Amino acid sequence: MSLEIEHVEKLYKIVSTQTVIHALNGVDISLPTGKTLGIVGESGCGKSTLARLVTGLEAPNKGNIRWNGSPIHNVNKGSFSTKKSVVQLVFQDPYSSLNPRQRIGAAISEIITVHKLVEKEHIDSRVSELLALVGLADDLKNRYPHQLSGGQRQRVSIARALAAEPNLLVLDEPVSALDVSVRAEVMNLLIDLREKLGLTYIFISHDLAMIRYISDFVAVMYLGKIVEFGNWEQVINDPKHPYTQALINAMPDHTVIGNPESLAKTLQGEVPDPVNLPTGCAFHLRCVKATPACTLVSQTLIEISPNHQVACMEAKA
């Protein structure tokens, strides 16, 4: 019982410039059901592309994505209008992901109707059940999205995803657009739902603190590859890849204060262009530990301690 992502590659061809963007360059992940995988990385690292592939919105150029042994694309397509869907996606921005002219109740019941999950006469009570599940009052059914706060809208988006009775929820930056004081409530809700419904999560974020808080496993991505993978304690408390170390160092941390020097230990340079990938290790241009060998050879993930994999020649257990 697991999600298997095997050697997945995704390219985007740009017709006008005759170039190719290498969005994903060979990604392997195995995630047991009921667990949460946190994926962290900066813009352009391929984390949202991976989300689109896992949800079946796009197909990979190479490789397979399987849920309990069956290819996820067939699973999702075949069952699209008949029964439950295996995987659902929650987007970052609850302002643009809800139809502004559709009442909340209709937005949720639409999913139930499309998937033919409940008899017609029970749809309304199922909508009530879903609203209660995400902690919203029943009278919100008749409201429009603009009458709701950001936190309430994100709860509606979660309720819509759950309406299709998925096993796997892909959460793409689900709290980044919310005010700081309401983020905690949505995070707590996600944790409660995971336990109540036995859901498997892929939680995508650029915020390592949120990743640390919710994840069982953490994958750090850089330029379309996983550079470090392990359980959350290994990756966050004992990072081995120089990029993970830099990322953790760059997290704004409100527990370290009045220390301007902490800003100086910063990673130099920017993420290279995914059209012209650097030779060797994609990180060597910004890496403080890079050796001449790093400019030539790209290190694949190697296990440096049980379950802790790092794609770096210089990494030691």
To other proteins, the closest distance from the beta carbon of 291 in angstroms equals 21
Q: Which is nearer to other proteins, 142 or 149 (CB)?
A: 149
**CB-nearer residue toward other proteins: 114 or 267:** 267
Q: Which residues contact 182 (CB under 8 A, 6 or more apart)?
A: 149, 150, 151
Provide the minimum distance between the beta carbon of 304 and other proteins in the complex, in angstroms, as a whole number. 21
Query: Cα separations (Å) of 23 from 4, 118, 201, 204, 229?
Result: 19, 39, 22, 16, 19
Q: Give the span between the Cα atoms of 39 and 196, in whole angstroms.
A: 23
Supply 309's token pair.
């994999």
Nearer to other proteins, 112 or 226 (CB): 226
Of 11 and 250, the one with the shorter C-beta distance to other proteins is 250
**Nearest distance from residue 249's CB to other proteins, in Å?**
8
CB atoms under 10 Å from CB of 15, counted, come to: 6
In whole angstroms, give the CA distance from residue 307 to residue 234: 9
Closest distance to other proteins from the beta carbon of 255 (Å): 5
Considering the complex, state which of residue 89 and residue 246 has its C-beta at the smaller distance from other proteins.
Answer: 246
- Residue 169 structure tokens: 């929820």
> Which amino acid, residue 283?
F
- Which residues of the shown chain bind other proteins in the complex (CB under 8 A)? 42-43, 149, 151-152, 179-185, 187-188, 191, 206, 208-210, 212-215, 232, 236-237, 246-260, 262-264, 266-268, 270-271
- Helices marked H in the chain — which ranges? 47-54, 72-78, 104-114, 123-133, 150-163, 180-197, 208-214, 232, 242-250
DSSP, res 234: I
What secondary structure does DSSP assign to 236-268, as a single string?
IIS--SHHHHHHHHHS--TTS-S-GGGGTSPPP
Q: Could you tell me the smallest distance in angstroms from the CB atom of residue 185 to other proteins?
A: 4
Is the CB of 109 or the CB of 152 nearer to other proteins? Answer: 152
Q: Please state the closest distance from residue 108 (CB atom) to other proteins, in A.
A: 21
